[in-house]
Chain A
Amino acid sequence: MGIQELTYLLQGLLWTLFLTVIGFVGGILFGIVVAVLRVSPSPWLRIPMICWIGVFQGTPLLMQLFVAYFGLPLLGFNFPAWAAVSVALTAHASAFLGEIWRGAIQAVPSGQSEAANALGLPGWSRMVDVVMPQAFKLSLPATVGFLVQLLKGTSLAAIVGFIELTRAGTIVSNQIYKPLLVFGVVGALYCAMCWPLSLWGRRLEQRMAAGAAK
């Protein structure tokens, strides 16, 4: 494998990072909405979010990518491939992050809300100033864990035909007939991106467990 092939793989890697960032940032924005609506007392807001989360957690990400890829044009959007993939990843991430944060919001002891109410804080302030900051901290390990999932998940864009790291690997492998070397390198590149994140997530988790034990 020469410098040319390696450069090609690194270009794919940039696309992988790009898709991950878009999916994650979009997922954060919409995920907050999903989480807040999911804990709403009104069933009209809550039930659609339960369904949204259920659909994305109950179907393969690959299917979600295909449906977006072929479905968006039918709705009249003429998206390039990367945009269709980004839409799917964002929706996917919003459901998973929404569910993670829903759990975190509900894990904040109810005494906190009660104390905020007793102080006469308005509803939004109770959420923004008291509950959300604590929920954010609780949810951090799982959020980092999902970031790793999402990064790995972008590889499925390869099956839709989008040239990111894995697809670049397939192409290079077909050119130079050294599949083990190429996929070994591709795997190592994924590891190099995911492993530090995994370690960070685990450290956060341990720190939290240690804090809870005190």
Chain B
Amino acid sequence: MTLDFSVVADAWKSLLFGALGTLFLAFSGMVIAMVVGVTGVVILRMQMRIPSLLVTLFVEIIRNTPFLVQIFFLFFALPLAGVRLNPTVTAILALGLNGGAYAIEIIRGGVESIPKGQTEAGLALGLHKHEVFRLIVLIPALRAIYPSLASQFILLTLTTAICTSISAYELTSVGQRIEAETFRSFEVYFTLTSIYLVISLVTMWLLAALGRWAFSYPQR
């Protein structure tokens, strides 16, 4: 058994761009996920029967099927619906919808975790509803859900690897191309794994630092 990492080292440039692709996928996916999440929670809070049911159905379907099946479905469904997107954009959309279902649950929990008394105190002081939300509810709610959103972001980053199945541009598909050229499967995947580990450790650390900076008021 001989391991030869030199062929992988030679490809460092492609790997670097692949890693950037992964970060781009994760970040864009998370942005869409947040939009989906906030929209979903707003719909649920309107308490209308049919729209709420649809949101719940969406959440349950996404949470109870593998991402791989979701991305395949989207990959084949979009062209049939007349939407032609390149694989990377399709992947971002799939990541956004998947992450969005989890974001709905997280955000709903966060808003519900703020005691009703906070809103009432704001109203009693004469503030309007939108001011109460913006000035009083928003920051504690964000703080309450920040750790969950941060780990959701890490999870989404790791999920991007699956996007190789539709040949989206990201680290794993770059790695698979190197593997196909060099036949050094183990070396390639070991390197990829290490890069993912570094990405998630650094991201975790950055997100924790960001959280400490943004929500520095003392806990109750």
Report which A residues bind B (CB closer than 8 A): 54-55, 58-64, 66-67, 70-71, 74-76, 148, 152-153, 155-156, 158-159, 166, 169-170, 173, 179-180, 183-184, 186-187, 190-191, 194-195, 198
Min CB distance B62 to A, Å, is 10
Sample of 15 more A-B contacts, CB < 8 Å, known A152-B64, A184-B73 = A54-B201, A58-B197, A62-B162, A63-B193, A67-B186, A74-B1, A74-B186, A75-B1, A152-B67, A155-B67, A169-B69, A187-B65, A187-B73, A190-B66, A194-B63
Q: Report the separation of the CA atoms of residues A71 and B201 in the bound assembly, to the nearest whole angstrom.
A: 23
Q: Does B77 contact A (CB under 8 A)?
A: yes
Q: Report the separation of the CA atoms of residues A156 and B66 in the bound assembly, to the nearest whole angstrom.
A: 9
Q: Does B27 contact A (CB under 8 A)?
A: no
Chain B: how many interface residues by the 8 Å CB criterion?
A: 37
Which 8 interchain pairs have the tightest Cβ spacing?
A179-B76, A155-B66, A60-B161, A194-B64, A66-B189, A152-B66, A58-B200, A70-B186
Closest residue to A196 on the B side, CB-wise?
B64
List residues of chain B with CB within 8 A of the CB of A74: 1, 3, 186
Q: Report the separation of the CA atoms of residues A61 and B200 in the bound assembly, to the nearest whole angstrom.
A: 13
Contact bitstring B181-220, A, C-beta under 8 A = 1, else 0: 0000110011011001100110010000000000000000
Report which B residues bind A (CB closer than 8 A): 1, 3, 60-61, 63-70, 72-73, 76-77, 80, 154, 158-162, 164-165, 172, 185-186, 189-190, 192-193, 196-197, 200-201, 204
Closest residue to A152 on the B side, CB-wise?
B66
Chain A at the B interface: SS class: helix
Q: Report the separation of the CA atoms of residues A64 and B192 in the bound assembly, to the nearest whole angstrom.
A: 10
List residues of chain B with CB within 8 A of the CB of A169: 69, 72
Contact residue among B68, B70, B80, B193 (Cβ-Cβ distance under 8 Å from A59): B193
A66 touches B185 (CB 8 A): yes
List residues of chain B with CB within 8 A of the CB of A183: 69, 72-73, 76
A67 touches B189 (CB 8 A): yes
Min CB distance A24 to B, Å, is 16
B190 touches A67 (CB 8 A): yes
B197 touches A55 (CB 8 A): yes
Chain B at the A interface: SS class: helix
Closest residue to B155 on the A side, CB-wise?
A57
Q: From known contacts A169-B69, A183-B73, A184-B73, infer whether A63 and B60 are also in contact, taking CB-CB under 8 Å.
A: no
Min CB distance A157 to B, Å, is 10
A166 touches B68 (CB 8 A): yes
Contact residue among B60, B73, B196, B204 (Cβ-Cβ distance under 8 Å from A60): B196
A191 touches B172 (CB 8 A): no
B189 touches A152 (CB 8 A): no
Closest residue to A74 on the B side, CB-wise?
B1
Contact residue among A60, A75, A186 (Cβ-Cβ distance under 8 Å from B158): A60
Q: Report the separation of the CA atoms of residues A183 and B69 in the bound assembly, to the nearest whole angstrom.
A: 7
Contact residue among A59, A63, A155 (Cβ-Cβ distance under 8 Å from B69): A155
Closest residue to B74 on the A side, CB-wise?
A183
Q: From known contacts A58-B201, A180-B77, infer whether A63 and B161 are also in contact, taking CB-CB under 8 Å.
A: yes
Q: Report the separation of the CA atoms of residues A184 and B74 in the bound assembly, to the nearest whole angstrom.
A: 11
Contact residue among A64, A173, A180, A198 (Cβ-Cβ distance under 8 Å from B60): A198
Closest residue to A186 on the B side, CB-wise?
B69
B196 touches A191 (CB 8 A): no
Q: Report the separation of the CA atoms of residues A152 and B196 in the bound assembly, to the nearest whole angstrom.
A: 21
Q: From known contacts A180-B73, A180-B76, A187-B73, infer whether A71 and B190 are also in contact, taking CB-CB under 8 Å.
A: yes
List residues of chain A with CB within 8 A of the CB of B172: 60, 62-63
List residues of chain B with CB within 8 A of the CB of A166: 66, 68-69, 72
List residues of chain A with CB within 8 A of the CB of B186: 67, 70-71, 74
Min CB distance B165 to A, Å, is 6
List residues of chain A with CB within 8 A of the CB of B67: 152, 155
